[in-house]
A and B are shown apart, each in its own frame.
Chain A
């Protein structure tokens, strides 16, 4: 359903796959880094592998690049089996986390490398390298050495180098990890823009859920060498397939066992996103949420409980409350700093909480 939101690509290529992994397994000695992963990345898609460090996401990327050989399984690029193909004969380029620019070459020589290797004539080579540098807004840096550039500039050179001969797939290994926050956010936008304009399939590895949610058309959440869930950002966020996904992608209130029965009213494991919980004064009856347009009354009932505020963290655009319920269960609530708070919203104050019943959705445990 959410997949229909995927940006329609020009022409008829939408349905073709760029990368396909079939039951790919990779062992390092006795350690299984990737465990029977199936994955399909469509052509022209911005696809992210999201997971904590050590989850095997980088190994997956290196398998696609060809730096590692799978222990079992099959890897396809654009429909061709490349399982045994060396990296230099795969139509995919990598942007490394530490950029891996050739230190003895100028920026231009770095960018032109893929063309040089293929024996492209010098004039054309230089023209295309300049063009790639323009794309990443680095005109005028052609003759510098990588050592003379800032981190962000090196990042762009690495991008230009990987894009210069228009590979079918661009593999990005935590490309923004070494940048500071402001630069990272700027680059996120730029990367997305670049992907849109070039139409190249991007396969990004990241541990940063913001990054993945912001840029991707689809996300695969990876854990312990397995894919836990694949889907568009909204779906992964709103409908996490597992408790792990729910916890890793965004923050959530996970309720299981007794707590689920007490708070949600049903047995099972449930996730309630903190921004879905409304705060009210305990005396007032649970009311319709003021943020929702009144013209569309929500279907279904609401649930309400009362608790005591044990912590308040003011975090710029929103405030995070930690609330202890009578039986000791704790809920986290996020509230946009839009208007006045309920009077009781102070430390140790009694406060009422309410949420739409469908916002407490069950997750497989």
Chain B
């Protein structure tokens, strides 16, 4: 009995030692964060692994007419494997696995990927179409560091307010419908399931409660965060379900379980295609939104195909297709000539910087207030995460 115990302890100790050794190995290295941008491209590796937002890498399976993946494969010989992510957090954690070559990161993921070294700087010379990107999207704080680009801008847009036209009357034009007035649709309100959604509440408070002094929905001090959280807790009572899986939102609106809530244009389109009476609008307060960047992993196994994809997705034709399908402004000015609706760029304000000042692109909140305040400490994303868990209760 005694002997068995001793040997059990010994093997347990051995396992622990092994684990510690393994853990030590894992934490070593990593000083040289981010790797290097290549000087020239070689032959394609035959495949590329992509992390994308829904609707960013369509291969015709949702709609046979919507397909820019197969032409790419035919042209480059790079087989595309797409992993659709629902949130920026998911993208960040997928990138950390090192199994993906490129990602369509929004502003709340880009800086985190740059800081963690998961994204590599991009040699824009190897992306011929880069020259046609709107200048306003180049060298922005969310896609570059020390003057070096960490990706190729993809496009931008706003989070919209979607509602069932048969159930929500009168037609809403303000986010008030899902915040202060949410009780009217008790149990049928939906919201995006990510801590970043706190910014939507903050954005609404910018107008509804000017006394809070919110200037940037991503720069909230503790008091402002608390105000946003209590607004969201109030909304929580009326929420039927939160969504991050776009399919789930489509079925919820189609079935009438959700009648009003935040959405993306592409989801609105798909829901309409399912014959559900829905409409998506940009409320008068403006909106949160995104400006996406295709980034290359510092551990990319297929960098050549990744660069080919970067160039392809911002090429005028493909960029126009994505922009029209997802419902956003393209990043390539030449794409505006390729859209099936000639007014697409105008409708989505592709070159209208004034408009995009009303859209607050997703970005990661940090302790140094992003609105330039020096006298306050802002809440960082970890605090937002905790706050979001508490909102959902």
Direct contact of A and B (CB under 8 A): no
A interface list, Cβ under 8 A from B = none
B interface list, Cβ under 8 A from A = none
